[in-house]
Amino acid sequence: MLKKEKMMLNVPIKLLETRNGRCGEWANCFALICRAIGLETRYIMDNLDHVWVEIWAQELDRWVHCDPCENVMDTPLMYESGWNKKYAYVIAFAKDHVMDVTWRYTFDRKVTSKRRTQCRPAVFYNFITKLSNRLAKNLPQERQKELQRRYLCEMIEFLWPQNNKRDGSEAETHGRISGSKQWREARCETTNSACVIKPTTNEIDAKCLEIHYNSATDEYRRPHDASTSKGFKSLAFESKNVFRKVEIDWKKAYLCRTEGSEKGELVWKIEFNGEKPKSVTINFGEPFCRDNGNVLGVVCCGEQCVRVNDTVTLNEFSDDATYLEFRIEMSGGKGNNAWQHAQILRCDLDNTKTNFSIRVEFE
């Protein structure tokens, strides 16, 4: 018996009835709503298979990324950082212009440029320009001048990739949430990659491996190896239902579980690679809990497991102590904001000090 395919609907208003559809249907419907309330809207299409929209934010004086299918806003690098997308072309279509917005959704211009091989750059830009001119030729002079001004502003934004990173965009490194888990994993659009930390040659020579993390900058440092790693997930062995929250109004940053999830889990794993540990020190700081929120931290090394509340040091190790695993679980809380009632690594946005560290000394 043939499996019935899910019907694709090209009439956006139908989605208001069904409330069920793919990314294209969600984008069409959301664009309809935005246009109905007077917002300037662009339909965004990539060279792979996803679509979303951008809306013009008058107070920000720029176009803002909106993905109704994923329920995120102003997180343009989500597809590249969170979904592992390798874009070559991302095009914006408005009622009166067309724009190549690839550089808003990618960060490394050199790598992205190497993928843009479907046609010569001059031919591509000539086509985009002619199409935009055709759409704008009958517009009032004032509107044409405004489109030209916006075009120049966008080009300046694209010339400086750092502008693509938005402050407080906690969804920036999220994997895809729409579709089944099996389907997302098959497409490599999740962010559950396991990182096992191992001592480098420099760290072995120094007989010390240290990992420092600052939640304000969302960056790890390895002082004995002079290396850094961006994003709390980059050195995590496992991350489940956890994201970095930035509160612009309170000027705070912290890690907590995702909204609607009962439990958030974070695991760091360090393999000793044949080196014998002499001591292990974990400085985790005091969790922020309220309304029955709970944070449980446990470090295991060989046969021993110890609860971590703030700072803990291990000095005795069995022969089977070949790796260390530090696990954090966040749960509890009350009401709609229960996910915020168990926080870790909370600090000021201007904090320059380490607020989480693991130090392993070798014999």
C-alpha closest to that of 245 among 95, 330, 346: 346
328 beta partners:
266, 297
Q: Is 23 a catalytic residue?
A: yes
Catalytic residue of the set 29, 34, 46, 50: 50
CA–CA distance from 216 to each of 55, 204, 244, 250, 359 (Å)?
A: 29, 29, 10, 13, 20
Which residue do the tokens 């044409």 mark?
144
Q: CA 43, CA 186: separation in Å to the nearest integer?
A: 27
Catalytic-labelled residue, pool 34, 46, 66, 67: 67
Nearest-5° Cα angle at 9, 7 to 12? 155
At residue 110, φ and ψ (nearest 5 deg) are: -65, -45
**How is residue 312 written in tokens?**
């803990």
In DSSP terms, 282 is beta-bridged to 312, 358
DSSP 8-state class, residue 3: P
Q: Helix/strand/coil (H, E, C) string of 238-272? A: EEECEEEEEECCCCEEEEEECCCCCEEEEEEEEEC
157, β-bridge pairs: none
Task: Spell 145-175 as b/e; 16+ CB within 10 A means b.
Answer: eebeebeeebeebbeebeebebebbbbbbbb
67 annotated active-site = yes
What are the catalytic residues?
23, 50, 67
